[in-house]
Amino acid sequence: MKTRHIVALIAGCTLYAAAAFGETQQTVLGGYSTQAGSSFTPSPDRGRSLFAANHSASADFPSCTKCHGSDPGASGKHAITGKTIAPMSARANPERFTDAAKTEKWFRRNCREVIGRECSAGEKADVLAYLIKGS
Amino acid sequence: MRRLACAGAALLAALASAPTLADSASIRVPADAPAAWKNECSSCHVAYPPQLLGKSSWHTVMKGLDKHFGSDASMAAADAKAITDFLDRYAPPDGGRHDAANGRITQTQWFKRKHREIPASALSSKEVRSAANCQACHSSAEKGVFSEHQLTPLGRRFED
């Protein structure tokens, strides 16, 4: 009886947390985690490293932060065109990662441009874990 | 009389859609701009109105989206088609001052003439970054308004 209550409480809290983060953000992140395999756990720290690291595919924008800025809670600026880019952190910008096709399109473009290859499902899950929860 | 009115209206319509319209300071974004154009073509820079570039030059841009001025702007074929159709409706015909073989508005005769008093060094200065960064100097560039009366403080510095 008692354990059942606790289980219900935990389930309730998880649901509540998911709603607070925005259901679709969780679905988008969850989709990449599932693709990455059953033993995979997304890591905000790995995501942060990938986002800030200097890669070698582009001289104009060696890192994700070149356009998105080093603080995901603040606006970024496109490295070539100077256009303002809205904050990447889901907390600062609730519209982020609520459209799986949009998120996937930009991962494809930006990973190719910056890293020189597409990102793996695990890398995408890490980056989203960082931008949704860890920033 | 009615015939005359009709002819007058036709003439006005023809004038209004003539490519010389782009010479006036009030190039507006056409009301029937498809969602794909608004979303896709405004994400990395201000969406350049279709009136600014000749038809074939736009085609060059749309055929090379995977290698788009050093960026990857490739998109779903249906979106690219809707955008190309829209550009075709409003692009000035080839052979005028809006042609640019490399698809750069900033390389057209038209653009160069409008900015002939601004030194090239200013257009590529650190604050402006690139001549294609219209909104650095034109405060209503997002609406397709490039009037010399709607300049940013930075833009006003280059005014004659």
- For residue A29, the Cα-to-chain-centroid distance in whole angstroms is 7
Q: What is the pLDDT of residue B123?
A: 84
What is the residue-averaged pLDDT of chain B?
85
E-only strand ranges, chain A: 76-77, 84-85
Judged against a pLDDT cut of 50, whether residue B105 lies above it is answered with yes
pLDDT in tens, A15-43: 444 444 445 899 999 999 999 999 999 99
What's the pLDDT score for residue B37?
Answer: 97
Contacts of A27 (CB under 8 A, 6+ apart): A100
Give mean pLDDT, residues B121-142. 88
Q: Any CB–CB contact under 8 A between B75 and chain A?
A: yes
CB contact under 8 A, A80 and B74: no
- The pLDDT tens digits of the residues spanning B4-18 come to 444 444 444 444 444
Q: Is B133 at the interface with chain A, CB within 8 A?
A: yes
| Phi and psi at residue A40, to the nearest 5° | -85, 135
Residues of A in contact with B45 (CB under 8 A): 78, 81, 83
CA–CA separation, B125 vs B131, rounded Å? Answer: 9
Helix (H, G, I), strand (E, B) or coil at B68: strand
Measured between beta carbons, the chain A residues lying within 8 angstroms of B69 are: 80
Mutating which of B40, B43, B154 best tests the A interface, going by the most A Cβ atoms within 10 A?
B43
Beta carbons within 8 Å of B77's beta carbon, 6+ residues apart: none
CA distances from A101 to A90, A98, A107, A124, B156 (A): 17, 9, 10, 13, 41
Highest mean pLDDT range out of A4-8, B20-24, B46-50?
B46-50
Q: What is the pTM of this model?
A: 0.86
Rounded to an integer, what distance in angstroms lies between the CA atom of residue A73 and that of residue B70? 27
pLDDT value, residue B5: 44
Evaluate if residue B41 carries a pLDDT over 80. yes
**Range with the poorest average pLDDT among A67-76, B40-49, B120-129:** B120-129
The residues of chain A scoring below 70 in pLDDT are 1-23, 135
Which residue segments constitute the domains of chain A, with CATH numbers given? 3-134 (1.10.760.10)
**C-alpha dist (Å) from residue A23 to A135, B5, B122, B136:** 18, 59, 47, 37
3-state secondary structure B95-111: CCCCCCCCCCHHHCHHH
Chain A residues with a Cβ under 8 Å from any Cβ in chain B = 60, 78, 80-83, 105, 108-109, 112-113
Residue B46 with chain A: CB contacts under 8 Å: 83
Over its C-alpha atoms, chain A yields an Rg (Å, rounded) of 16
C-alpha distance from A106 to closest chain B C-alpha (Å): 9
**B71, B137, B138, B152: best to mutate for the A interface, most A CBs within 10 A:** B71
pLDDT at B14: 40
Q: How confident is the model at residue B160 (pLDDT cuts 50, 70, 90)?
A: low
Give the span between the Cα atoms of A26 and A54, in whole angstroms: 28
